[in-house]
Chain A
Amino acid sequence: MGNEAERAEPAIRSIDFHGRAGEYFGIWISNLFLSIVTLGIYSAWAKVRRVRYFYNATRIQGTPFSYHATGKQILIGRVVSCVVIAVYTLITTFVPLAVLPFSIAFAIALPWLINRSLRFQARMTSWRNVRFDWHGTYGKNFLFFLVCPLVAMLSLGLLMPPISRATYRYFAESHAFGVTRFRTRATVAAYYKAFLAALVLPVAAAVAVGAAVALTQPGFAAGGWLGLLPFLMVPAFAFLFMFQVMYRVACRNILLRSMTLGDAVTFDSRLGPLRVLWIALSNAVAILFSLGLLVPWAMVRTYRYQAENTGVGLADDAPAFLDAQTQAVGAFGEEFMDLEGLEFGI
């Protein structure tokens, strides 16, 4: 980041989101109602409505995002995946052992599915008349989405920071706005720092809970804790969840802060890990106690927090850069199907 001195720091403005929970509630409940009445067929159009609502309410420089997928396209994609799921369900009820070969076949197909899904998602999104694009490959998807998580797990998390860096980088740099790819330049050190920072709170909480249990229930320390192992699973999962949320937030911040588009556009992300944790937990509680009626409110609230804390900076020459953006011919997604159930995001 050495060119800050010679260039004026571009003014960063946060992304504009003017969605409202009440407004989205109307769409959400209508979607639900029509989907149920049509036995799920309308759900393809419901998806278009949902995504469009959020995209259209999101503006950068006053220009909204558009979503171009049609209900028909998504319905076709869903019919195709329904046939696959139907075959799977039928065969595994007849022959339960078939789960194994199916899982292997699924793992082999997964990188391809991810490619189709991400490309569809990107190409169906536009801003200023230019569509986004995805340039991932089968091999790299296999490496980053299947092998890497496994390696990170086997290394007990020690290799997680470099792996996260490579994965997030691949994800961002395989995306393009028109024909211009995004670029990132975060260091491994930044990811290690985020990793350690995300560990602090869960570890402290774990130690505190452990100490409290040991003090109040002396029997535990003497070896009686084995029988209570199932009860320890709950806090263990809670700590893991805490770590996961906070680490992902930190990774998103690192990625976006180091991301550029051409020489003219920079990005910023200032999500607070604790704040995100609070939003996730309070959303879950609100949804549970409202019997699901607060789902739209929770979605709008989460989205708004993310938008408000994500910034886009445009350098002085940005208007010229943006005007010069073109889209490769043939990047229209008409021939691509949506593959449901596979949504990736940062």
Chain B
Amino acid sequence: MDAPHLVDGRFFPPLSSAGQPARLRVAPGEGAPMVSAALADGTALDALAVDDVQAGDTLHFAGGGSFIADRPLPPEVTALFQSPMRRRIARLEAFSLPKAVLLGLALILCVAGVRAALPAAARAVALAVPERLERTIGDRSYATLARMGLAASEIPEERRQTLARRAADLAGAARLTRRPEIVFHRAPGFGANAMALPGGPIVVTDALVELLGSDDAVLAVLAHEMAHVERRHSLQQVLAVAGAAAMASVVLGVDDSLLEELSATVVNVWSFKNSRDFEKEADLVGMDILRAGGMDPALLADAIAALTTQACARLAGDARARCLSEAGAAETGWLSTHPGAKDRLGYLREALGR
């Protein structure tokens, strides 16, 4: 066993700035080092628990006291109080030019890699996020939406129950691991809309049900939304944004609000591209769900076409043609949060052809 280290300095009792000369004895042991102190007034303190060592000369004890050494502590003493992980990170942090160049290159690769692999990485992390946290986000969002103007649905209860039951049957037939609850609300501000909140519930507005008319068409949209929940799209979206924002905050420190604005814009563009991929996936998985439930997958394409036609009905000529391909981007409702009908109907028909 190594000999104990003796360090001279000042000892400060908890909550006080009145220090007195003291000699600290640090004995390396099996686990945590044994620390004791002999104060100038004759007091002896045993088994001091060290919280952390800062500035190379200051030891903070659990419970609030501290010890400031007269001279910087030898590195081997400081190292005694570092976890193996912290020691490894400290080695990484020690500056040398070759290491800086190497880390810099690794960083550029990482940024490029993350940029390319962000969706996949977000998916991997999403799998690690506890379902409870996902549900918390979903529940809070639902509560907030409810406060903002979700009224009781005016769709006959019988029909709502039929729709919910058929959606549950679809989820069962497609062997989905997540079976979100379907809730109906009258919500004038939200337009004809269906929203898949993370981990559940799917909110359907009365306007959507009325506009689509047939239950089959509503179920097609629900299949798309269930695909969002099943693949945890909202959560991945949030993770991608949070990850990118966290990176930006580390890169830029905290002081530069202008650069922060800039990074927020980048994050938005990023997540927008992401969301198009998610929508495509939800459309394709949604069709699989319909197929598994013995329904016609073309129903989804029909529902999108019906919603688009309805949204553009008021326009005429060129404006109408443009609206039909862009799906009335300014409108509040399901279409406004989804890609243009031209793209979507294109790949949907392609998938149907196969």
Contact = CB atoms under 8 A, between A and B. Distances in A.
A94 B190 contact: yes
Contact of A293 (B104, B189, B241, B332): B104
A229 interface: no
B149 to A, nearest CB: 9
B246 interface: yes
Main secondary structure of the interface of A (DSSP, over half): helix
A34 B89 contact: yes
Contacts of A324: 17-18
Interface string A36-74: 110111010011011010011101000110111000000
Contact of B148 (A43, A46, A91, A323): A91
A332 B148 CA distance: 39
Given A33-B110, A66-B58, A93-B337, A26 B100 contact: yes
A322 B16 CA distance: 9
A35 B245 CA distance: 11
Given A33-B110, A83-B136, A95 B148 contact: yes
A32 B66 CA distance: 31
Interface string A8-25: 000000000000001101
Nearest to A296: B253
A140 interface: no
Interface string B98-121: 011001101100110010000001
Main secondary structure of the interface of B (DSSP, over half): helix
Interface stretch (B34-42, B138-146, B158-166): B138-146
A30 B114 CA distance: 17
Contact of B110 (A37, A46, A299): A37
Interface stretch (A96-104, A148-156, A249-257): A96-104
A322 B243 contact: no
B239 interface: yes
A232 B353 CA distance: 57
B253 A299 contact: yes
B249 A340 contact: yes
A37 to B, nearest CB: 7
A97 B17 contact: no
B49 interface: no
B150 to A, nearest CB: 10
Interface size classification for chain A:
35 or more
Contacts of A78: 246
A222 to B, nearest CB: 36
A40 B238 CA distance: 12
B17 A323 contact: yes
Contact of B125 (A39, A49, A89, A299): A39
A31 B250 contact: yes
Interface in A295-329: 295, 299, 322-327, 329
A67 B60 CA distance: 10
A29 B241 CA distance: 21
Contacts of A332: 64
Nearest to B145: A91
Contacts of B243: 39-40
Interface string B242-272: 1111110111111100000000000000000
A86 interface: yes
B141 A64 contact: no
A89 B137 contact: no
Interface of B: 12, 14-19, 54-58, 60, 64-66, 68, 89, 92-96, 99-100, 103-104, 106-107, 110-111, 114, 121-122, 125, 133, 136-137, 140-141, 144-145, 148, 189-190, 193, 195, 197-198, 234, 237-239, 241-247, 249-255, 332, 336-337
12 contacts: A29-B107, A30-B89, A32-B107, A43-B246, A49-B93, A56-B56, A86-B137, A97-B189, A129-B14, A323-B19, A326-B15, A343-B254
